[in-house]
Amino acid sequence: MPMSLDLARIQACLAPEPVAAEEEDDFAKDAVVGRDMAALIPSAVLFPLVPRAGGLQVLFTRRTEHLRDHPGQISFPGGRMEQSDISPAHTALREAEEEIGLARDLPQVLGFLPTYRTATGFLIYPVVALLLPPFTLTLDAFEVAEAFEVPLARLFDPTIQRRESILYQGKEHTYHVIDCTSETPPRRIWGATAGMILALARRLENKER
């Protein structure tokens, strides 16, 4: 049965405040074992849902190739929490403004997905927001190579999802991969970004059972 992708159902499966990931929830974290939670770097990302005539779209960025962390990867706008940030939502909105020139008062925060721990030492707060068009983006050319949208329904298609693994710092880590476009070769969302997308998909599935 296809999932209902209307905003009311999506918001109903989100937490109204930031919430820690459930330990058993493989979709909410990387395969990180024994890492000191206090040593993780708090950060936040904006998960923007854009209503279009053909259905809900998700806005992504592609990082520039020269960046030290995750060069060239497809990701959500976001970054590390700063001392001046009053909340994860504040961080996500600030970072989106800095990275893609999105005015902070445009995204309407719908709620939060559980935190996502990464093998690279970050604790990510995913902030899901509604972004109503029209809006104008001004990309930070140093950090962002491009911004583009993908239909949410495509991201939830299990036929383009898979699991892969990598050896990182002497340990094997398994992560999610989503082939987000139909071109050849397809654009590839992986790691934390893919995991957060699938966390939302699973919560929608559980809501409809």
| C-alpha dist (Å) from residue 76 to 20, 62, 112, 176, 185 | 19, 8, 14, 15, 21
What pLDDT is stored for residue 2 in this prediction?
47
Please check whether residue 86 is in contact with residue 128, taking contact to mean a CB–CB distance below 8 angstroms: no
Q: Which pLDDT does position 86 carry in this prediction?
A: 97
Q: What residue ranges do the domains of the chain occupy?
A: 7-208
Q: Kindly give the pairing relationship between strand 122-130 and strand 41-52.
A: parallel
Q: Tell whether omega for the bond before 186 is within 30 degrees of 0, i.e. cis.
A: no
Q: How far apart are CA 28 and CA 175, in angstroms?
A: 11
Q: What confidence score (pLDDT) does residue 21 get?
A: 78
* Token pair for 99: 């990275």
Which residue has 């459930």 as its token pair? 22
Contact 196, 76 (CB under 8 A): yes
CATH of domain 7-208: 3.90.79.10
pLDDT digit string (tens) for the chain, length 209 residues: 345 678 999 999 999 999 887 654 555 555 454 556 678 899 999 999 999 999 999 999 998 977 776 667 899 999 999 999 999 999 999 999 999 999 999 999 999 999 998 877 889 999 999 999 999 999 999 999 999 999 999 999 999 999 998 887 777 778 899 998 888 888 999 989 999 999 999 999 887 66
Position 24 scores a pLDDT of 45
